[in-house]
Structure 1
Amino acid sequence: MGKIILDNIRLFGFHGCLSEEKRIGSHYTVNIEIELDFNEASTHDNLSKTIDYVNLYYLVKEEMKIHSKLIEHLAQRIIQRIKKKYKEFLIEIKHIKVKICKENPPIQGNIDRVCVILND
């Protein structure tokens, strides 16, 4: 068993319930953690037996382009898309964890970021 972790993917998006969030946008960080069996990939040095983290990055980037009111919804979409994509390649994912942080959220206060974590 092993984990693939994409740590602190930095992207820009237009997520939120406020009209200014949809218009101005925000910076986000996304962390993805996927647990799966690496045995075949590590034994045979075969990329097709694991998850290609480059493709995973582009999947997250594509989902960030689709507006969501809630980053919880965005996290769920990312999880569902990962599961669907790698099911086609017969890769059995044991666990997915997605953490999305909105940097400098529009809150009247001193706060660096707001984050949600969704586990599947």
Structure 2
Amino acid sequence: MTLTESSICLNDIRLYAFHGVLEQERRVGGEYSVSIRVHYNIYKAMETDNVADTLNYAQLLKIVKREMAVPSNLLEHVAGRIGKTVFHEFPQAEAIDLTVTKLNPPMGADCAGASVHVHLINDKTLQ
């Protein structure tokens, strides 16, 4: 069997946070959704069935919650912090697909949210 691609995903994590350019957003806060896919080689975990051989999604959730708790003006900044922390704490991570969505943006439109999506590559795994 050949493994060609693998990842771990946390989908639509719902959080309350205090991000935004407007003072009201940072004071009152709002609802957010975060979805993250971390690409890494899961082959060893497939063979061993040992949690020590995988990227622990409970730890990944802690990272997302911790970084979302730090207020920022921009969702881009939040996404960058999450990415840097994931790569720091999980050096085996090869790439990240991350979407941070403000579910009720203050822009006078009826929409499902405003998002930032990034695809980040861990430069350390390119060597």
Task: Tell whether the structures are fold-level matches, with TM greater than 0.5.
Answer: yes
The answer to which structure has the higher strand fraction is 1
Alpha-carbon distance between aligned partners in 1 of 2:109 and 2:39, rounded to the nearest angstrom: 37
What amino acid does structure 1 have at the position aligned with 2:63?
L
For 1:73 and 1:111, how far apart are their aligned partners in 2?
A: 22
Provide the residue aligned with 1:112 in structure 2. Answer: 112
Q: CA deviation at 1:108?
A: 1.6
Could you give the per-residue CA deviations for residues 13-70 of structure 1, whole angstroms, max 9, x where no partner exists? 0000000001110100000001111111110112122110011111101111101100
Partner of 1:8: 12
Secondary structure at the aligned position of 1:93 is classed as: coil
Q: Output the TM-score relative to the length of structure 2.
A: 0.88
Q: What is the match of residue 31 of structure 2?
A: 27
Are 1:64 and 2:64 counterparts? no
1:80-107 alpha-carbon deviations (Å, 9 max, x no partner): 00000012xxxx2221011000011101
The answer to whether the 8 Å contact 1:7/1:30 transfers is: yes
Assess if the C-alpha contact under 8 Å between 1:15 and 1:67 holds in 2.
yes
CA RMSD of aligned residues (A): 0.9
1:81 to 71, 82, 85: 85
Q: Which runs of 5+ in 2 are unaligned?
A: 121-127
Q: Measure the CA separation in 2 of the matches of 1:45 and 1:16.
A: 42
Q: Which residue of 1 aligns with 2:95?
A: 95
Runs of 4+, deviation exceeding 4 Å = none
Give the percent of matched residue pairs that are identical in Structure 1 and Structure 2: 33
Q: CA deviation at 1:109?
A: 2.2
Deviates more, 1:106-115 or 1:60-69: 106-115
